[in-house]
Structure 1
């Protein structure tokens, strides 16, 4: 289900209309829109809260955006901008689908999102508490976002349990299947911080001396992924197998279209889609 609702949420990062909506309220530059839009449900928070909740970003990178972005746009303005941009993006991808399709998908997503567990899930909880959207695409995007952040909160909890620091998690993943060239810049870690993280991974048995993933590291990270899935099961158990399958069917054409604008190297982790071309020239990066 994550592979179906994550692309719906991700239009807020990669679609030109989403970027334009942030710019319209004074949030020029990709990272201003990103940090303001994603953090806005928390209120006018400073860098420490976002470092904690977002997990993988270097504190110095977060501090360049927060709290200064709130002088450009209030959290309320950022929330309106992110929803406006997301709805405009989804409208472009769903105009051929009948209204009944969109309404049913929004209804089922909202029902699932209504069963997220708020305890220990900061971003999931604050998104779940936002007012319900008025139209199907707004309801669909907000529900997908709530489910996405709820799942992400569970993933962060599982990562904390490994004892690894954020830089170590990002560096290790880039030794497995991701690009250091992209991810180091996208998360703001310096060369010295990266090198120190890799040395700690060697000391802790996650990487070999020549910086290859160890069996121990691979096994623990597989357990993290399994724990993430378990922590995210509640909404789908509540929705039930039959209606979850129906929602997957409804989201499939929407998610497929949304994925066309997600750059291949984006630090989201979605598995590749066979037979679907991906536009790597998105204005988001």
Structure 2
């Protein structure tokens, strides 16, 4: 289900209308909008809790953005901008779908999000507590965002439990299935990347030539499995029939949204099956 609702959320990072909405409230530059939009559900947070919650960004990069961005736009302004931009993007991408299709998808996705367990999941809980939108696309995007942040919180918990630090996690993904270029923008130095690769080699996850080992693949698959288990409750609550129906409703939206998500994006989102 993540592969179906994540593209709906991700328009906030890649669609020009989302970028324009942030710029309209004074958040010029990609990273200002990114940090303001994702952090705003927490209020006017400073850098330390965001470094912890976002996990994969180098602390100096986060500290350059926070709390300075709140001088440009208050959290409530950032929240309005991110929802406005996301809804405008989705409206452009889903204009051929009937209103009833969008409303039914929003109803089911909201049911799933409202059933999610938020204990220990800070970003997910903060998004779940936001007011529900009035229109189907606003409701749809907010529910998708809540579910993706809940899943992300669980994924970070699984990474921490497995003893992987942020830059080790990124270095592993580069070794397996992502380009270094897509992740270099997260602020880590070349020395930190090199040291992370060395730690993964000593751990037995990477071979001497930097390729993944079977032990590494098995270890990371265990993390992915733990992430899926932690994210499963909304779908068990929704039930197999309604989950299947929601998947069918989301599919054309997800395909449309993939059109604005770069193939080499740092989300690591796989393409939907043909």
Shorter-normalised TM range: over 0.9
SS in structure 1 of the partner of residue 178 of structure 2: coil
Structure 2 partner of 1:42: 42
In the aligned structure 1, how far is the partner of 2:144 from the partner of 2:238? 14
Equivalent residues in 2 for 1:71-82, closer than 5 Å = 71-82=71-82
Q: Using the alignment, how far apart are the partners of 2:43 and 2:271 within structure 1?
A: 35
2:249 is aligned with 1:263? no
Gaps of 5+ in 1: 276-285
Question: How far did 1:273 drift?
Answer: 3.8
Deviation at 1:274, TM superposition (A): 5.4
**What does the per-residue CA deviation read over 1:147-201, in whole Å, with 9 as the maximum and x for residues that have no partner?**
01011111011101111110011011101111112212x2111111111111111
- Deviation of the 1:272 alpha carbon: 2.6
The 4+ residue runs of structure 1 with deviation greater than 3 A are none
* 1:31 partnered with 2:31: yes
Answer whether contact 1:116 1:124 (CA < 8 A) is retained. Answer: no
Matched, 1:139 2:160: no
SS of alignment partner, residue 127 of structure 2: helix
Alignment partner, residue 222 of structure 2: 223
2-side partners of 1:38 and 1:221: how far apart? 26
Aligned position for 1:205: 204
263-272 or 157-166, which deviates more:
263-272
Q: Which whole-Å CA distance do the structure 2 matches of 1:67 and 1:49 have between them?
A: 11
Correspondences of 1:142-153 after superposition (within 5 Å): 142-153=142-153
Normalising by structure 1, we get a TM-score of: 0.94
Match of 1:180 in 2: 180
Name the residue aligned to 1:93.
93
Structure 1 residue matching 2:176: 3-state secondary structure: coil
Partners of 1:177 and 1:236 lie apart in 2 by 27
RMSD: 0.9
Deviations 1:56-102 (A, max 9, x none): 11111111111110110000000000000000000001111111111
The 3-state SS of whatever aligns with 1:146 is: helix
